[in-house]
Structure 1
Amino acid sequence: MGLTVVSRSGHTWRLTEQIGSGSEGFVYGVDDARPLVAKLVPDPPDPETYRRRVARLVRQRREPRTVGLLSGTPVRLAWPLVPVRTAGGTDADRVDGYVMTDMRHAYQPFAHLLTTSARHAFLPRATWATALRAALALARLLGDLHAEGYVVGDLTPDNLWADETGRVGMADVDSWQFTDGRETFPGRMRTPGYTAPERIGAPAGTPPDTASDDFALAVLVHQLLMAGLHPFAGHPADGGDYLSYDDNVLHGRCRLADPASVLLPRSVPPADLLPRRLTELFRRALANARRRPTAAEWAQALAAELAPGRLKVCATGPRHVHTVERPWCPWCDLAEQGTDSYPGHPQEEQ
């Protein structure tokens, strides 16, 4: 493809294949011995503000609050390492962006945890315990970001990564909301199905807050623990047409918050596979914005469900894991109906 990017100091990188794209930009491989990729944003609403946003994030990487967030292995955040622009052409033709860590060297796309086929193909040893650990890792990461003054604003599977042990990473740092000195860089993005009800229909540019992040966190934790099922999935029980997740959000159509509000196929995981402690958090998160649990509350509750003695392994196979609160295996029930969310046999583990 022949694209080359250059930093302000004059260092150049040759870009290889395009490996991803989103609503704002494109991600390319980088020809480098280190695991790096480059994100380019062709048409930001305000190019000068975008360049300043990236430059401030690069500088903040050396500040104590960010150093702590970036500690540990593997790194949890694909933080901007250096601003770059495409080389050649006129100044108006050049595209801004940045170089960051390639999360693929340590993680799989987060969405691989949310479907049976992808789990089986890419994360074959994943169980419900893996989903719990991923939910806990995500809640802790989000809580750490909030504690340091960052708001993700557009938390979705598309900007998350996970591995087979349940560790979680995050990308698209350049879209976050944060303050640097006296300047606030607002979050702009929102994704249907992961937008808090108070932000749906709000004017463009309405800034997110930590509570809107906490709503998206609850949706993602539900998807992890319910084998990919969105908490606002379902056909309106009143006979109306299904329009979208956001329409269900606005009308409170949610099985956990109001079981009579939606119709779901029998093939979805039963609501009672959740421990009572988590069920109560979901009801608060999805039905009442004023009582929405924080990321720290989710982390505390999820850690408790991973404590010794809280999980049971089904006798049919090591990938059928469930809470001890349930007297029999929910995954076996689903498998008998032809939908095994965690397929496998004991001999495969040997």
Structure 2
Amino acid sequence: MVMSENGRAWSLTERIGSGSEGVVYAVDEARPLVAKLVPEPPDPQAYRRRIARLVRQRREPRTVRLLSATPARVAWPMIGVRAGSRGADGIDGYVMTDMRHAHQPFVHLLTPDARRVLLPRATWATGLAAALSLARLLADLHTEGYVVGDLKPDNLWVDADGGVGIADVDSWQFTDGGETFPGRMGSPGYTAPERIGAPAGTAPDAASDDFVLAVLVHQLLMCGLHPFAGHPADGADYLSHDDNILHGRCRLLDRTSVVLSRSAPPADLLPRRIGDLLRAAFGGARPTAAVWAGALAAESAPGRLRTCGTNPLHTHTVERPWCPWCDLAERAADSYPARPAPHGRDGTKDVKGVRDVSENSVEEKAAWQR
């Protein structure tokens, strides 16, 4: 049971998730709601003030604009609540929209096995749509003065069409009434290089969000592959994505800097415009979320996508002369395999090999790759 300041009570049911600070419970309510409780915030009084300000901002024009979409794009705090006593033993938190009502965890789109089962209609075009939706969402947040700070897959949600939503608003950085509520969180693999190893409390900014946006765009368009994945090619031990970030070990920046498995999607799977923006983002000249939104919208325009003639789940940029997913299928690494064919009249299954109908010769492929 949790209770608000005005005495309203909500019953909690099952525990549905937890993060670095809080625990999320389902709420016994006709509306799709959940409650997040934070047992040990660094400064409980400051945390309560932060939640109160966010609840108040829900009625401000800049926030109303963010919350006007259907389905909801942001799980905004609706009201602050407390579990337990009003003393030191009580736990603070808030009630918010349950994103599961219209979305799935974002990571389902990044993980081939989960995608095949939970998002069976998803194609590379779905990843492109999600990248565009995320870029537009982040651009809108930055326009309204919000910095996410801890942008990562665990805080994001996605629907079957690639629409993206975001939760964990209580960790954002924002200003209210002249007071700045700094962001303080960060996650391994999803932190801009200038914040890795920085003193505790170092505030994020829009540029640090933009770096992580580029990481997520890469993952969405490269079947979950982190852009700083890979074993150091210089013989050094692999330590972490963050270590590779700090040392600039990235295939897009230097193809000789890391060693990846043969099952990794090829770098030339990306449209040239997107590849150029990713190199800029990881090389220091970060495109803003708004720039990303414009580029991803252009790549989503009619005529910019091609569908394989053999497998309708094999979608790729028109710049690619043949199907990259068919190539990966030959290595048993197809991220978008065809669904099982229906039984024929004789009771057998159609087991045609997965090949692009517009086959290119080995020589043509080699010439294009050069």
**What is the TM-score normalised by the length of structure 2?**
0.91
Measure, in 2, the Cα distance between the counterparts of 1:16 and 1:345: 37
Report what 1:310 is aligned to.
304
Report deviation, 1:287: 1.6
Could you tell me which of 73, 81, 94 is aligned with 2:90? 94
Report deviation, 1:205: 0.2
Unaligned runs of 5+ in 1: none
Matched-pair contact (CA < 8 Å) for 1:317–1:346? no
Measure, in 2, the Cα distance between the counterparts of 1:317 and 1:106: 28
Counterpart of 2:261, as a letter, is: P
Measure, in 2, the Cα distance between the counterparts of 1:208 and 1:132: 26
Report what 1:66 is aligned to.
63
Measure, in 2, the Cα distance between the counterparts of 1:78 and 1:63: 16
Report what 1:181 is aligned to.
177
1:315-330 matched pairs, under 5 angstroms? 315-330=309-324
Measure, in 2, the Cα distance between the counterparts of 1:219 and 1:11: 42
Q: Are residues 1:116 and 2:112 paired?
A: yes
Could you tell me which of 128, 133, 138 is aligned with 2:129? 133
Could you tell me which of 8, 25, 30 is aligned with 2:27? 30
Counterpart of 1:95, as a letter, is: I
Report what 1:234 is aligned to.
230
Measure, in 2, the Cα distance between the counterparts of 1:347 and 1:303: 33
Q: Are residues 1:42 and 2:39 paired?
A: yes
Q: Report SS of the residue matched to 2:237.
A: coil
> Max radius of gyration: which structure?
2
1:1-350 matched pairs, under 5 angstroms? 4-87=1-84, 89=85, 91-288=87-284, 291-345=285-339, 347=341
What per-residue deviation string (whole Å, max 9, x for no partner) do you get for residues 54-99 of structure 1?
Answer: 0000000000000000012101000000000014x46111100000
Report deviation, 1:310: 0.3
Measure, in 2, the Cα distance between the counterparts of 1:166 and 1:203: 36
What per-residue deviation string (whole Å, max 9, x for no partner) do you get for residues 186-240 of structure 1?
Answer: 0000001010001111100000000000000000010000000000000001011
Q: Report SS of the residue matched to 2:224.
A: coil
Measure, in 1, the Cα distance between the counterparts of 2:17 and 2:168: 12
Q: Report SS of the residue matched to 1:308.
A: coil
Matched-pair contact (CA < 8 Å) for 1:37–1:99? yes
Unaligned runs of 5+ in 2: 343-370
Report what 2:368 is aligned to.
none
Percent identical residues: 74
Q: How many residues align?
A: 342
Report what 2:362 is aligned to.
none
Measure, in 1, the Cα distance between the counterparts of 2:211 and 2:340: 37
Report deviation, 1:345: 3.8
